[in-house]
Structure formats: structure tokens, C-alpha cells
């Protein structure tokens, strides 16, 4: 049984910047909730193979195929035989002068999507869109007054997100 969840938001950036962020697969773990790591294995034209590791299940990788249409769509799907079976679809459309409408649709097995404290963050499109909005704001492309720097503490340490790049903060001598 599959669970399908969708969320939509309008962001104050051009669709091309949204596309740039959501098609940078190697950077997913820096901002997408529930991911411990993301690694680009291969890329050719509008197709890529990416390995994801969920924070809920360290050491276990999920290999996904990624298909993208510049500035309008990015789709990630589990390769045959990989568990959990997921499909993540980013749809990007112009929504006015300098704005984009972004829809995130996530399909995954109910058993994973509903497990408290496990894959919930990853299977929540509202959290995924909120994280994307944070990256866009930190990239300095958002409206005046939005944050461009964010400091967070995780189990792995203290991190700073500055203009879309994540830095680990360590005590100096």
C-alpha cells in the first residue's frame, strides 16, 4: 500500500534557482529532512543515479534514478529491488514576476511513512518545502528581511547554513 502526500508553496525566487537547488542531488543531505547523506553516482544529460542514506537507518543506502527537465521538474524513483519504494516529484512553474510555484509530491510505503521518529521527516512534503524555502532564503535570493544564515545543532554537532552551503562549526585554538 502506498501513501501519497503533496504540498505546494509559492516562493519569491525564479524557477531556475529552485531547479538548481532541487537538481543538486549531492547537496540533498545538507537540507532535505531525514537524510544523512546523498551521493551522486552517475549523471548523463537529464538523468542521474543517486545514493541516499536516511538518518533513521544509518548504513543502509537507497539507490534512486533521477530524471529532470530543466527549470520545470525533477523526479526521483527507487531503482527496481530497492526498499523503500519511493517516488519524489518536484514540479516547478513560474508564478509571477520573479516567483515560482513549487509542488512536492512524495509517494512511499505506509509502513515507512507512518513510523514515528523514522522516515517521517523525509516523507513529509510540508517539511521538504519548508527546508527548500530555508535554502532559498539562505541563498540570499529571498525577499528583504529573510535570513541568509542559520545555525543548527544536531546529534552530529553544530552547523551553519550560509547562502546555501552547510559548514560544520568547530572550536578553534
The pLDDT value given to residue 152:
74
Name the band, by pLDDT with cuts 50, 70 and 90, for residue 136: confident
How far apart are the C-alpha atoms of 76 and 79, rounded to whole Å? Answer: 9
The structural architecture, per CATH, of the domain 2-148 is: 2-Layer Sandwich (3.30)
| Category of 138 on φ-ψ map: left (φ > 0), alpha (ψ -120 to 50) or beta | alpha
Q: Which residues are within 8 A (CB) of 140 and not within 5 positions of it... i.e. 6 or more apart?
A: 148, 163
- The structure's pTM equals 0.75
How far apart are the C-alpha atoms of 165 and 150, rounded to whole Å? Answer: 10
The pLDDT value given to residue 19:
94
| Percentage, residues of the chain above pLDDT 90 | 41
The pLDDT value given to residue 104:
96
pLDDT at residue 41 above 90? yes
Using only C-alpha atoms, what is the Rg of the chain? 16
Domain boundaries, the chain: 2-148
Class of residue 4 by CB neighbours under 10 A (exposed 0-12, middle 13-18, buried 19+): exposed
Amino acid at each position: 500500500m502506498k501513501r501519497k502526500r503533496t504540498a505546494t508553496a509559492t516562493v519569491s525566487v525564479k524557477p531556475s534557482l529552485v531547479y538548481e537547488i532541487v537538481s543538486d542531488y549531492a547537496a540533498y543531505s545538507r537540507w532535505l529532512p531525514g537524510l544523512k547523506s546523498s551521493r551522486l553516482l552517475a549523471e548523463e544529460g537529464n538523468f542521474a543515479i543517486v545514493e541516499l542514506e536516511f538518518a533513521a537507518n544509518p548504513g543502509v543506502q537507497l539507490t534512486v534514478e533521477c530524471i529532470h527537465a530543466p527549470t520545470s521538474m525533477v523526479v526521483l524513483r527507487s531503482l527496481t529491488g530497492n526498499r523503500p519504494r519511493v517516488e519524489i516529484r518536484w514540479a516547478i512553474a513560474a508564478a509571477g514576476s520573479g516567483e515560482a510555484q513549487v509542488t512536492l509530491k512524495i509517494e512511499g510505503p505506509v509502513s515507512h511513512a507512518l513510523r514515528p521518529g523514522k522516515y517521517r521527516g523525509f516523507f513529509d512534503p510540508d517539511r521538504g518545502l519548508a527546508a527548500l524555502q530555508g535554502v532559498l532564503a539562505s541563498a540570499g535570493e529571498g525577499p528583504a528581511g529573510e535570513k541568509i544564515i542559520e545555525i543548527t545543532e544536531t546529534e552530529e554537532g553544530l552547523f551553519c547554513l550560509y547562502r546555501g552551503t552547510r559548514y560544520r562549526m568547530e572550536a578553534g585554538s
